[in-house]
A = this chain, B = another copy of it.
Amino acid sequence: MPIAATILLDILIIFAMAKLAGELFERVRQPAVLGEILAGVLIGPYALALIGQPGDGLIAAFHSEEAAREALRIVYDVFAEVGIIVLLFFVGLETRIEDLLSVGRRAAVVAVLGIVLPFVFGYLLTASIGYSGLSAVFVGTALVATSVGITARVLSDLGVLQRPEARIILGAAVVDDILAMILLAIVTGIGGGEVSWGQISLVIVEAIAFTAFVALVGARVIRRYDAHLDALHLQNGPFVVAMVVCLGLSALAGYVGLAAIIGAFLAGMVFSEARQRDSLIAQTRAVAELLVPFFFVVTGAQVDPRLFLDWRIVGLALAVTVLAIAGKLIGCSIGAWGLGKRSVAVVGVGMVPRGEVGVIVATLGLTLGALSRELFSVVIMMSVLTTLIVPPVLHWIYRGTARSTSTTPQSPHL
């Protein structure tokens, strides 16, 4: 029952290093989230390996060092997942459903264009340099899905979640995730040698029904019954119910084939309609402060910096990264056209990060034998680069204009 002392030490290291790096980056006017990711690279298994080393007790419990390491990895992955769920719930709380619906058509266009171009670019490049069609399809798919967590974090840090371009990005992220999920189901079917169109249709219907049901019915229910939340005998009843719904919709999203964070975002959006919204935001912010860094550190820890030493891979990765950026930038900018120069730029840049979604596709492709280890590394590197590049660029675009959400008045946020 008492956990190994090394695990508590790891948790301390992850949290403390994330916050220390965040503080240092803020001081030199860089985004804190970038510091957190790089802290993860630094303390991760491929660099200093400060975390994830099982002690003797844990190795004895598993009869194998490898299994003990795997167990630790799962522990930190769970913290990371809960952290990103809390973050997207928080972002959802700050997003009104009507605001999102008002940009719905545009968000859909942004999402579709932002998926088509990167897929085509990735497919053509990979096929043109001699890889198989299957490999090309997987690289194209890895370029498709935006990882909205990073952009959401930056926009939240900058205090601009209420702006139209932020709402378009969040709406597009929901559509993007549904489309990417459909595409992944299809290519996995192809990669596994079988495509059951009936099954794929089922997944599509489930995902769309889930999203529509939660967004539309959920909001109505909460507006009707929010007063009842105060009548609970539990302490902090509204917050407790909100957390139950957040975890519930996250788990449910996973079961219908969507990313868990899409469920968390929808849950947050539903509770943004509740009269207790302000206190929910304050309570969720405290939880997020503790748990969110785990996601970004764990993401960083998966990066092997030695990959950046093999020039053949780096060259190809840079080409793929340029196409990944160009594809989203062009596709999403066209979708956002007419909103004003800065908003178009924000939408284009905000959809660029591939983050953990690219890593997931790469891992799947490697497992199915559709990607060589070389192409796998290329996709991983593309995911890292598109993720690292976005926070500073968004900060730069908003330089001088974004209001700070910091609680410290003297904080020099840009």
Contact = CB atoms under 8 A, between A and B. Distances in A.
Interface string A280-296: 00111111011000000
Residue of A2, A81, A82, A405 contacting most chain B CB atoms (<10 Å): A2
Contacts of A205: none
Given A8-B250, A62-B67, A359-B1, A234 B26 contact: yes
Interface string A69-95: 011001101111110000000000000
A360 B408 contact: no
A50 interface: no
Contacts of A12: 244, 247-248, 250-251
B286 A239 contact: yes
Contacts of A67: 62-64, 67, 71
A360 B247 contact: no
Interface stretch (A15-23, A343-351, A369-377, A384-392): A15-23
Contacts of A27: 233
B237 A408 contact: yes
A9 to B, nearest CB: 5
27 contacts: A1-B80, A1-B298, A1-B302, A2-B356, A3-B78, A5-B255, A8-B251, A8-B260, A15-B243, A15-B247, A19-B240, A23-B234, A26-B234, A27-B233, A62-B70, A67-B67, A67-B71, A70-B71, A74-B75, A75-B78, A78-B79, A230-B408, A230-B410, A235-B411, A236-B285, A282-B282, A287-B290
Interface string A249-283: 01100110001100000000000000000000011
- Which of A3, A70, A237, A282 has the most chain B CB atoms inside 10 A of its CB? A3
A152 interface: no
Nearest to A157: B235
Contact of A286 (B9, B80, B248, B282): B282
Nearest to A32: B234
Contacts of A233: 23, 26-27, 408, 411-412
Given A1-B77, A16-B244, A23-B234, A251 B360 contact: no
Nearest to A81: B3
A11 interface: yes
Contacts of A247: 8, 11-12, 15-16
Contacts of A80: 1
A263 to B, nearest CB: 9
